[in-house]
Amino acid sequence: MTTTEHGEDVQVTPPRRQAATARGRIAAAVSLIGELAITAGLILGLFVVYSLWWTNVIADNQAQKESDTVRRSWAASSAGSGPGKSAKPGALDTKDGLGFLHVPAMGKNYEVLVKKGTSTNVLNQGVAGYYTSPVKAAMPWDKQGNFTLAAHRDGHGAKFHNIDKIKDGDPVVFEDRDTWYVYKVYKILPQTSKYNVKVINQIPKESGKTRAGRYITLTTCTPVYTSEYRYIVWAQLVRTQKVDAHRTPPAELR
């Protein structure tokens, strides 16, 4: 307590107490910032879990249901012309899927349902989709062309997560109701621009081919957990095998 020249009493805070008050305010601010950082970290962690795990669970469940529907439909149908060979164009693209892609190098018993389109809405269903633009995919049963596919590499089923495990000479098999289409990998492009649409041309000159043939191309994002570039795998048809009554897979899948 001190007195001014006018005789007024004024409360004066000692320097030590002022310093203690300032330190207390700083500590409170730091504590608040720390709590906010922890909260933000938890929210970010939950988002990562949702993006990389829970979306896989949802997509895999949905894809499994659709896959079961396709196989039940095949089992119930009578023997005859396969998908795409029907006189009815609508028979090509059912809402449940076109067939199944098998790539042993991506994992044991690897199998993924293939549907029409490569939009986020389609690929988020935990499937692979064939391109309808900017270059329309040929179908496996066409006499020539490039069957071009895309799938997510992380989240939403991540069906092409292990695409980097594929090597030259590995088999890639597509299965429809009546036929196994067996391809052999001949070229891999680990990284290219996401704007490079030439990789899905009907004659994939980016892979070194100059003549029309029967090809399959797998595309996905790279590096993992990003969408900055694209990873490409090209394979060429080496043979076909008719599906028997027991759906015995080709030797490449045994």
Tell me the catalytic residues: 221
Q: Which residue has the tokens 């249901």?
A: 65
d(C-alpha 214, C-alpha 212), whole Å = 7
Q: Per-residue DSSP letters for 95-162? A: TT-SEEEE-GGG-TT--EEEEE--SHHHHTTTSEEE--SSSPPPPTTSSSEEEEEE--SSSTT-TTTT
d(C-alpha 99, C-alpha 226), whole Å = 28
Q: Which amino acid is at 123?
A: L
118-156 residues labelled b (16+ CB within 10 A) or e (exposed): beeebbbbbbbbbbeeeeebbbbbeeebbbbbbbbbbbb
Task: Please classify residue 186 by burial: count the beta carbons closer than 10 Å to its beta carbon, then call 0-12 exposed, 13-18 middle and 19+ buried.
Answer: middle
What DSSP element (H or E) covers 76?
Answer: helix 55-76
